[in-house]
Amino acid sequence: MGTEKNLQLGVYLLDTVLLTAFIIGFHKLMCHIAPESVDNIENIPWVVLVYIIGFSFSYVLFPSLIQLRLIKYEDIIKRVTSTCFMMLLFVSLIIFVSKPFADFPRTFLFYSMLAYFIFMLTERIILRKILMRFRANKGNQKNVILVGNEQTVYQLFEILKTPIYGYNIVGFFYDGECTNQEMAAKRLGGTGDIYGWLTVHSNINEIYGYFPKEQHDTINMMSKFCDNHLIRFYYIPAINVFKGNMAITFMEGIPVIARREEPLRKGSNKLAKRIFDIIFSSFVLLLIFPWIFIFVSVMIKIQSPGPIFFLQERTGLDGKIFKCIKFRSMKVNNDADEIQATKNDPRKFPFGDFMRKTNIDELPQFINVFLGDMSVVGPRPHMLKHTAEYSKLINHFMVRHFAKPGITGLAQVSGFRGETRYIDQMEGRVKKDIEYIENWTFLLDLKIIVKTVTNMLGKEKGNAY
């Protein structure tokens, strides 16, 4: 941990140097491209000092994460966002309560912070890659040993042996036979041999151990031994109860293993996704939808008498029913809630067939997104009849309703779009939907949206009828 702290301090010192260079360079740039934005900025060293003070305050609250060994890029982006936002607040507070900065141009503050966010994010990603490469070349390594002979230990071994994380797995202590050849080759002895081995080898930083529940005394002894020898001890619970991703939470200090990881249960993730949905749907409904609505309405009325919109009850978040809005693409019929559209479906009129192939009929669902019934990205909502049928035929089918249904989703951009004539097609769709729920990130949503747009432009035929 001391090494991580030193790295964190090193990142802070580097940040202050780069921030100084950035503010001076940005000031000179704005003098050339927008002189009015630097009016009343006469003492640039004091401006640099204020920015460094504001950054230092924010860094105390949101220190760097790049030095951590196991961290996702999404977490780095969130941390940079938090750091820059708090920095903006601190710098604004200092500037607007200080008499020397009474006339400080707000445009410079806004544009400098926006540019610094991009600059800092780029810096963090570059530093992260440098650090990962450094660790992959056996620098900044931690010496660890693993104890136990269970599937959970195998899984942890597969993670820790990845070179970029910087773990040097010295060896294993376990009893009985081991089916993993890599672990067997590094066996140092049985679980009873640990203490004698550690008294001779003092260079171990961390121990990860799995012990059966009847060996509580062994766990306590191991914990005390590690505390007295400056070794961090991590107990590995038996998390191979379920297959797939899991999440460990705590209820009043008691560890509870959840069946799966669900990032969208976290309040901040849920809020970020909802804000994006509101902004994105508002943009579509205000700037795109009105023009398409006029054209589509005329075409529908010409080719098929009846309403412009088609409302259908579908299964939403947590199994709740909502009215899904679409442009009507079929002649008015009594089977709309019972039978899926097929390739040569006689119920479709020509322009309706075109709308379905190009996804134009889904456009009104942005109203559902704005109202909160749906999200831009998520598992596609099904007819109530299909929900009732497939929930009896496919394991885990209802899991897809742990997230808001979407206009597009991971399943759709992975080839499971449109008609599902065979049960394996629906199983594939469900598998992708669950994968999305367990691995959601904001970047994943953006990738799915981009892939959806490229598919609409003709790069994917699919089964949309």
DSSP 8-state assignment for residue 422: S
Q: Is 32 or 211 the better-scoring residue by pLDDT?
A: 32
**Per-residue pLDDT, 4:** 67
* pLDDT recorded at residue 464: 52
- Residue 458 confidence (pLDDT): 67
Please tell me which residue, 65 or 239, carries the higher pLDDT value: 65
Name the residue among 122, 106, 124, 140 with its Cα closest to residue 38: 106
Taking 80 as the threshold, does the pLDDT of residue 3 lie above it? no
- Cα-to-chain-centroid distance, residue 2: 29
Q: Are 204 and 231 in contact (CB under 8 A)?
A: yes
* Share of residues in the chain with pLDDT > 90 (%): 28
**Mean pLDDT, residues 134-155 taken together:** 84
| Least confident among 116-125, 167-176, 286-295 | 167-176
Tokens describing residue 23: 């503010």
CA distances from 357 to 47, 350, 418 (A): 57, 11, 9
Q: What is the mean pLDDT of the chain?
A: 84
User: What pLDDT was estimated at residue 263?
Assistant: 87
**Residue 285 confidence class, pLDDT cut points 50, 70, 90:** very high
Burial class (CB in 10 A: 0-12, 13-18, 19+), 275: exposed
Across residues 99-103, what is the average pLDDT? 61
Lowest pLDDT segment from 1-10, 241-250, 253-262, 272-281: 241-250
Question: Is-contact 366 327, C-beta < 8 A?
Answer: no
String of DSSP letters for 53-120:
HHHHHHHHHS---TTSSS--HHHHHHHHHHHHHHHHHHHHHHHHH-GGGTT--HHHHHHHHHHHHHHH
- Residue 82 identity (one-letter amino acid): S
pLDDT at residue 52 greater than cutoff 50: yes
Q: What is the pLDDT of residue 252?
A: 61
Asked whether the predicted pLDDT for residue 240 surpasses 60, the reply is no
> 205-231, pLDDT tens digit by residue?
888 888 776 667 777 787 887 877 778
* pLDDT beyond 70 at 19: yes
Mean pLDDT of 170-194: 84
Q: What is the pLDDT of residue 278?
A: 94
pLDDT at site 135? 87
Is the predicted pLDDT of residue 461 greater than 60, yes or no? Answer: no
Q: Residues 6 or more apart from 364 whose CB is under 8 A from it? A: 289, 309, 325, 326, 327
Task: Give CA 134 to chain center in angstroms.
Answer: 26
Q: What is the average per-residue pLDDT within 308-333?
A: 89
**Residue 465, pLDDT score:** 45
- Can you give the pLDDT at residue 124? 92
State the pLDDT at residue 120: 94
Compute the distance between CA of residue 272 and CA of residue 277 in angstroms, rounded to an integer: 9
CA dist 306 and 328 (Å) reads: 9
Q: Mind giving me the DSSP string for 307-374? A: -SEEEEEEE-GGG-EEEEEEE--B-S-S-TTTS---TT-TTB-HHHHHHHHHTGGGTTHHHHHHHTS-
Confidence at residue 427, expressed as pLDDT on a 0 to 100 scale = 86
Q: How far apart (Å, rounded) are the C-alpha atoms in residues 337 and 352? A: 17
Lowest-confidence segment of 42-56, 83-97, 223-237, 374-388 by average pLDDT: 223-237
The pLDDT assigned to 20 comes to 94
Instruction: Please report where in the chains the tokens 């900025």 appear, as a residue.
Output: 41
In 359-461 the beta strands, taken as DSSP E runs, fall at 375-377, 406-408
> Is 70 exceeded by the pLDDT of residue 344?
no
What tens digit of pLDDT does each residue of 254-283 get? 666 677 788 888 888 888 899 999 999 999
What is the Cα–Cα distance from 7 to 67, expressed in whole angstroms? 6
Averaged over 433-454, what is the pLDDT?
90
pLDDT one-digit tens code per residue, 367-425: 999 999 999 999 999 889 888 888 888 888 888 999 999 999 999 888 876 666 677 77
Q: Is 167 helix (H, G, I), strand (E, B) or coil?
A: strand
Q: What is the pLDDT of residue 272?
A: 86
pLDDT tens by residue, 323-341: 999 998 888 776 665 566 6
SS3 label, residue 222: helix
SS3 state at 238:
coil
* Least confident window among 80-84, 213-217, 290-294: 213-217
Which residues are 383's β-sheet partners? Answer: 314
Q: What is the pLDDT of residue 309?
A: 92
